[in-house]
Amino acid sequence: MKLAQATNRRRFLAEAAIGSGALIAAPALAQSMVDLHLPGGPSERPMTSAFPGKGNMILQRIHPPLLETPMSVFNGDVFTPNDQFFVRWHWADIPTAIDVEAFRIKVHGAVTRPLSISLAQLLKLPRVELAAINQCSGNSRALFQPPVAGAQWRHGAMGNAKWLGVRLRDVLDIAGVKPGAVAVRFGALDQPVVAGGPDFAKSLSIDHARDGEVMLAFGMNGEQMPLLNGFPVRLIVPGWYSTYWVKMLNDIEVLAAPDDGYWMAKAYKIPDTPGANVRPGQKDFPAVPINKMIPRSWVTSLDEGQAIAFDRSIPLGGIAMGGDCGVAKVDVSTDNGKTWYKTVLGPDHGKYSFRRWDAQVPLTHAGPTRLMSRCWNTAGIAQPMTPIWNPGGFMRGNIETTNIVVG
């Protein structure tokens, strides 16, 4: 970030702070309301731009922040703007000031040379840049039927960015991983607000941590990342759900035994069944930590509930993701899944990135119309028609429907 941009940013932050101060008097910081069209519960949410470094976002929760990206954002560039990238924090004790000269990342545990790495040192290491989607494990949870408890996201708990940073493997190699190490645990600056609450930390197997793709990112779409997205450094785990993408990363611990901490052993567990799917209400299933993402796709050129004039054919566009590999193809339907049409894929920014798709598709009739898109990834996995269910509301990936009205 250049000096002028930094100054502008600071001025923006100052204005945002003044703005939020004025808004606090108003209930819930609401600037307008949006209907998320949720089937199971309260569907309206405020829109807000009162959060630092953030533009207009769907307000799921002020404290600690849960901010969802409006679907229309995904119809723009395949890279989500930093100021509209979703925000999710577990604990409310979030540092609001970061001193880049004082900040250190500790590397310790089963290593031969424990490290305390400054940002100046981190910036001197060999760099990599990678496009990757960061998607919450519970993205689209509010569409689960029957409904499940948890953050009631629609589809906007995800974003795609170009992450600039250093390979975790390089940092681990400097520290020297001792033989017998099995995992690496990542801790951060945020803290529980109550004594004894489980401090947020996640871990990866040692082989995954050293795969050369997992990185410590300090750049997001060419700039330092907003504080609410994890400034100054967050972990990037390409192809895996966001729970592993630890924000404000300041502690890397190499473990000689599996991580039995709450956030790995108890939370973010999925049924160890095909598609993480169980019968609604079922509780007696083996569970494993959530891991790789799966293919998904969305129509973004038309909004849920939108009315359009009848035409024999209409342009349709959207985004797709392969999950832990690339997008092979996307088909679309305008007749509730009976007929499917090919789409043209946009530029390939790498297998972990969103991929734009576009098509010109026929409309057969006026009235309520169900638009669908279906992604196949390069491993040959296609989105299923039927939604899954599990008690955590994790890993939704079925073909999504956008309901429009053709007049």
Partner 1 sequence: MKTPSIGTLSFGFVGATVVLLLAIGSPNSRVAPPPAAPTAPPPPSVSARGFSLASTSVDLPTDEGQYPAGPHADVINANCTSCHSASMALNQPPLSGDQWTAEVTKMREVYKAPVAAADVPAIVAYLTAMSTKQPGAAKGKAQDPDPKAAPDVSGGSG
- Touching partner 1, residues 53-82 (CB under 8 A): 53, 59-66
Single out the residue of 144, 151, 159 nearest to residue 59, CA to CA. 151
Q: Contact region for partner 1 (CB under 8 A) — 99-107, 183-191, 352-360, 377-385?
A: 99-107
360-389 residues near partner 1, rule: CB under 8 A: none
Q: One symbol per residue from 256 to 275: x for binding partner 1 (CB under 8 A), - otherwise; what is it?
A: ------xx--xxxx------
> Which of 34, 98, 201, 345 touches partner 1 by CB under 8 A?
98
Question: 194: buried, middle or exposed (CB in 10 Å: 19+, 13-18, 0-12)?
Answer: exposed
* Nearer CB in complex with partner 1: 322/391: 391
The residue from 75, 121, 205, 273 that contacts partner 1 (CB under 8 A) is 121
For residues 389 and 386, what is the distance between their CA atoms, to the nearest angstrom? 10
Residue 341 binds to partner 1 (criterion: CB under 8 A): no
Q: Is 130 in the site for partner 1 (CB under 8 A)?
A: yes
Complex with partner 1: residue 130 or 255, whichever CB lies closer: 130
Burial label for 179, CB within 10 Å (0-12, 13-18, 19+), is: exposed
Task: Tell the smallest beta-carbon distance from residue 174 to partner 1 (Å).
Answer: 6
Q: Applying CB under 8 A, does 217 fall inside the site for partner 1? A: no
Nearest by Cα to 50 from 233, 228, 191: 228
Q: Which of residues 19-58 bind partner 1 (CB under 8 A)?
A: 20-21, 23-24, 27-29, 38-42, 45, 48, 50-53
Sort strands 215-220 and 115-118 into parallel, antiparallel or unpaired. unpaired
Q: Which of residues 74 and 200 has its CB atom nearest to partner 1 in the complex?
A: 200
Shortest spacing between CB 310 and partner 1, in angstroms: 32
Q: What does each C-alpha distance from 392 to 60, 137, 290 come to in angstroms? A: 18, 9, 10
CA 258, CA 51: separation in Å to the nearest integer? 37
Phi, psi values for residue 171, rounded to 5°: -65, -45
Site for partner 1 in 188-207 (CB under 8 A): 192-198
Q: Report the C-alpha gap between 124 and 117 in whole angstroms.
A: 11
Q: How many residues bind partner 1 (CB under 8 A)?
A: 108
**Which residue, 79 or 268, is less far from partner 1 as judged by CB?**
268
Q: Does 284 bind partner 1 (CB under 8 A)?
A: no
Shortest distance, position 344 Cβ to partner 1, whole Å: 26
DSSP category for residue 63? T
CA geometry: angle 128, 245, 390, nearest 5 deg: 140
If the CB atoms of residues 79 and 231 are measured against partner 1, the closer one turns out to be 231
Closest CB to partner 1 among 42 and 367?
A: 42
Q: Return the biggest CA–CA distance within the chain.
A: 69
**DSSP codes joined into one string, 277-320:** ---TT-----EEE--B---EEEE-SS-TT-EE---SEEEEEEEE
From 31, 55, 106, 128, residue interacting with partner 1 (rule: CB under 8 A): 128
Q: Tally the residues of the chain.
A: 407
What is the smallest separation between the CB atom of 24 and partner 1, expressed in angstroms? 6
Q: Give yes or no for a contact between 234 and 245, defined as CB atoms under 8 angstroms apart.
A: yes
Note whether 129 binds partner 1 by CB under 8 A.
Answer: yes
Q: Return d(Cα 255, Cα 216) in angstroms, integer.
A: 18
CB of 242 or CB of 398, closer to partner 1:
242
Q: Does 283 bind partner 1 (CB under 8 A)?
A: yes
Site residues (CB under 8 A) for partner 1, limited to 157-186: 164, 170, 173-174
Residue 75, CA atoms < 13 Å, CB-side half-sphere: 11
x-or-dash string of contact with partner 1, 311-340, rule CB under 8 A: ------------------------------
Binding partner 1 (rule: CB under 8 A), the pick from 58, 78, 148, 161 is: 148
For 155, the 3-state DSSP assignment is: coil
Per CB under 8 A, 309 contacts partner 1: no
